[in-house]
Chain A
Amino acid sequence: MHEPPSYGMAVEIGHIDRELGRLWDSSEDTKTRASMINLVVYTEDAAAMAENTQRIAAIASEHACRAILILADCAAPESSAKAWITAHCHVQGNGGRQICSEQITFELKGAACGALPNIVFSHLDSDLPLALWWQGEFCDPLDEKLWAWVDRLIFDSRAWNNPASQFALTEKIANLRDARAVLCDLNWARLYPWRFALASLFDSACALPSLSRLTHVEICHAPGSETTAILLLGWLAAQLGWTSQSLLSQHDWQSANGQRISFALVEAPGSDLSHVSMIAPDATFEISREKDFFHLRLKPLGMAETNSTMSVGRERVGDTLLAELSRGGRHLLYKKAVVAAEPLLSALPRRRDNG
Chain B
Amino acid sequence: MPQPAHTENPLREGLTSRAMPDPCSIVIFGATGDLTHRKLIPALYNLAADGALPPALSVVGFARREKTDESFREELEEAAKKYSRQSLDAELWSSFASGISYHRSAFDDLSGYASLAEKLNALDTQRGTRGNRLFYLAVAPDQFEVILENLRTSGLNVASEGSWSRVIVEKPFGTDLPSARHLNSLVECAFPEKATYRIDHYLGKETAQNIMVLRFANAIFEAMWNSRYIDHIQITASEPLGVEGRAGYYDKSGALRDMVQNHLLQLLCLTAMEPPTDLSADAIRDEKVKVLRSLRPLIGDTVFTSVIRGQYGAGAINGKPVVAYREEANVDATSQAETYVALEIHVDNWRWAGVPFFVRVGKRLPKGGTEIAIQFKSVPPVLFKAAGGTLDDNVLVIRIQPDEGISLRISAKMPGSSLRIEPVKMDFHYGTSFGKATPEAYERLLLDAMSGDPTLFARRDEVEEAWKFVDAIRAAWVTRSDDLAFYSAGAWGPTEADELLRKHGVAWRRL
Contacts and interface: CB of A to CB of B under 8 A. Distances in A.
Q: Do A and B bind each other?
A: yes
Contacts of B403: 93
Contact of B10 (A211, A293, A307, A308): A211
B433 A309 contact: no
Contacts of B9: 199, 202-203, 208, 211
A310 B52 CA distance: 9
A309 B11 contact: no
Interface in A318-355: 326-327, 329, 331-333
B55 A296 contact: yes
B128 A203 contact: no
B23 interface: yes
Contacts of A204: 22-23, 54, 56, 128, 130
B481 interface: no
A239 B10 contact: yes
B12 interface: yes
Given A197-B51, A203-B19, A203-B54, A32 B432 contact: yes
A311 B11 contact: no
Contacts of B12: 199, 203
A81 to B, nearest CB: 32
Interface stretch (B87-95, B392-400, B487-495, B499-507): B87-95
B8 interface: yes
B13 interface: yes
Contact of A195 (B11, B19, B94, B130): B11
B128 A306 contact: yes
Nearest to B19: A203
Interface string A174-192: 0000000000000000001
Contact of A293 (B55, B91, B431): B91
A303 to B, nearest CB: 9
Interface string B72-97: 00000000000000000101101100
A135 B23 CA distance: 43
A195 B15 contact: yes
B245 interface: no
Contacts of A246: none
A99 interface: yes
B58 to A, nearest CB: 12
A200 B11 CA distance: 8
A196 B23 CA distance: 17
B179 interface: no
A304 interface: yes
Given A92-B432, A203-B9, A204-B23, A332 B14 contact: yes
B10 A240 contact: yes
Interface residues of B, number: 39
Contacts of B20: 200, 203
Nearest to B428: A34
Contacts of A309: 91-92, 94-95
A306 B99 CA distance: 12
B143 interface: no
Interface stretch (A56-64, A108-116, A257-265): A56-64
A62 B128 contact: no
A36 interface: yes
B16 interface: yes
Interface in B266-292: none
Nearest to A202: B9
Interface in B10-69: 10-17, 19-20, 22-23, 49-51, 54-56
A136 B186 CA distance: 66
Interface in A182-227: 192-193, 195-200, 202-206, 208, 211
Contacts of B55: 200, 296, 298, 306-308
Nearest to B93: A309
A306 B56 CA distance: 8
A200 B17 CA distance: 11
B380 interface: no
Contact of B435 (A62, A197, A200, A329): A62
Contact of A308 (B95, B130, B432): B95
Contact of A311 (B8, B56, B92): B92
A128 B1 CA distance: 25
A199 B15 contact: yes
A258 to B, nearest CB: 18
A197 B19 CA distance: 11
Contacts of A329: 16
A195 B14 CA distance: 10
A92 B11 contact: no
Contacts of A327: 16
B431 A92 contact: yes
- Kindly name the residue among A61, A204, A236 whose own CB sees the greatest number of chain B CB atoms within 10 A: A204
B418 interface: no
Interface in A217-261: 236, 239-240
A34 B433 contact: yes
A304 B126 contact: yes
A298 B7 CA distance: 19
B457 to A, nearest CB: 23
A200 B10 contact: no
A196 B15 contact: yes
Contacts of B50: 311
Contacts of A208: 8-9
| Complex A-B, nearest 4 residue pairs according to Cβ-Cβ distance, in ascending order | A62-B435, A308-B55, A309-B95, A199-B11
Interface of A: 32, 34, 36, 61-64, 92-93, 99, 192-193, 195-200, 202-206, 208, 211, 236, 239-240, 293, 296, 298, 304, 306-311, 326-327, 329, 331-333
Given A92-B432, A240-B10, A293-B92, 7 more contacts: A62-B434, A63-B434, A204-B23, A204-B54, A204-B56, A204-B130, A309-B94
11 contacts: A32-B432, A62-B434, A62-B435, A205-B130, A208-B8, A208-B9, A293-B91, A296-B55, A307-B55, A309-B92, A311-B89
